[in-house]
């Protein structure tokens, strides 16, 4: 098969997931702000323990003394790892819940194309969340 055929199928899966997510706008917006709620305790605990936003010991150990930047960058990497591990696997489970996994697997493309479409969607979704975090935190 031609690579363009696979790319179109990957993009179609990506678009399908965006349409499903954007159907439930309130849940989508909640999902954008939810990571801020999870990272906030790490930032607040760090500031409380260090006694401010800057730590000389952190700078010696990591090269940056800014506690907020260090925490947010770590949380961003953790978010992408979570997306890579859970996003694609959970996509298969969602298709089972929707009752459409048989139709997805009956499509005339290999199964890895479906997984790559979910990977594209998950990466774009996580990028949007990181953009929101960056705008709000900085």
Task: Write out pLDDT tens, residues 15-74.
Answer: 988 998 899 999 888 888 888 888 889 999 999 998 889 989 888 988 888 998 899 888
Is residue 118 scored above 90 in pLDDT? Answer: no
Q: Residue 26's pLDDT is what?
A: 93
Radius of gyration (C-alpha) of the chain in whole angstroms: 19
State mean pLDDT over 110-127: 86
| Of the candidates 92, 107, 127, the residue with the CA atom closest to the CA atom of residue 12 | 107
Q: Residue 1's pLDDT is what?
A: 62
Q: Ramachandran region of residue 99, left (φ > 0), alpha (ψ -120 to 50) or beta?
A: left
Q: Out of 88-92, 110-114, 127-131, pick the least confident.
A: 88-92
Tokens representing residue 87 in the block: 């996003």
Q: Strand, helix or coil at 20? A: helix
Q: Residue 48's pLDDT is what?
A: 93
> For residue 36, what are the CA distances in angstroms to 46, 115, 122?
15, 28, 18
Residue with tokens 């709620």: 37
Reported pTM: 0.72
């Amino acid at each position: 098969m031609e690579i363009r055929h696979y790319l179109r199928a990957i993009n179609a899966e990506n678009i399908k997931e965006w349409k499903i997510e954007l159907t439930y706008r309130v849940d989508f917006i909640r999902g954008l702000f939810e990571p801020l709620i999870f990272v906030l305790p790490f930032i607040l605990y760090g500031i409380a323990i260090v006694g401010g936003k800057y730590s000389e010991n952190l700078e010696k150990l990591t090269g940056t003394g800014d506690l907020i930047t260090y925490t947010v960058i770590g949380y961003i990497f953790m978010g992408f790892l979570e997306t890579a591990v859970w996003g694609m696997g959970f996509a298969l489970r969602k298709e089972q819940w929707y009752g459409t996994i048989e139709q997805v697997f009956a499509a005339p493309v290999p199964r890895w194309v479906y997984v790559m479409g979910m990977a594209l969607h998950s990466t774009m979704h996580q990028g949007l969340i990181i953009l929101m975090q960056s705008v709000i935190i900085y």
